[in-house]
């Protein structure tokens, strides 16, 4: 598979992973505060979702490379992975004139 085809498959898989209202809400929350990382409990509080639901959504997004995480003690903090191909693609589309 050529690189361009491979990239299109990765973008497609990322978009599928994001295609859930709660995941879009999580991404929107994480995107609002660019330099701030959120713990699972902070995401639950902000979005009024339960912890098992949020953890499942975060796992899906993390496994597709959409999110980055950092473990600090017993807490895991999540942020957007700005190097993900889908974000680069969306940025290019939004800024195209």
**How is the chain split into domains, by residue range?**
3-95
Calculate the alpha carbon distances from 83 to 8, 42, 68, 71 in Å: 15, 24, 10, 20
pLDDT range class, residue 90, cuts 50, 70, 90: low
Question: What's the CA gap between 21 and 8, in Å, rounded?
Answer: 23
CATH label, 3-95, candidates 1.20.210.10, 1.10.10.10, 1.10.357.10, 3.40.50.1980: 1.10.10.10
Task: Read off the pLDDT of residues 24-62 as tens digits, 9 standing for 90 and up.
Answer: 999 989 988 667 899 999 999 999 999 999 999 999 999
Cβ within 8 Å of residue 63, ≥6 positions away: 17
Identify the pLDDT of residue 79: 92
């Amino acid at each position: 598979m050529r690189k361009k085809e491979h990239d299109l498959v990765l973008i497609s898989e990322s978009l599928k992973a994001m295609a859930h209202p709660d995941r879009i809400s999580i991404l929107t929350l994480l995107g609002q505060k660019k330099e701030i990382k959120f713990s699972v409990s902070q995401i639950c509080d902000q979005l009024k979702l339960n912890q098992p639901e949020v953890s499942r959504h975060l796992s899906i997004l993390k496994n597709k490379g959409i999110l980055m995480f950092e473990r600090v003690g017993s807490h895991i903090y999540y942020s957007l992975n700005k190097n993900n191909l889908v974000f680069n693609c969306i940025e290019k589309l939004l800024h195209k004139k």
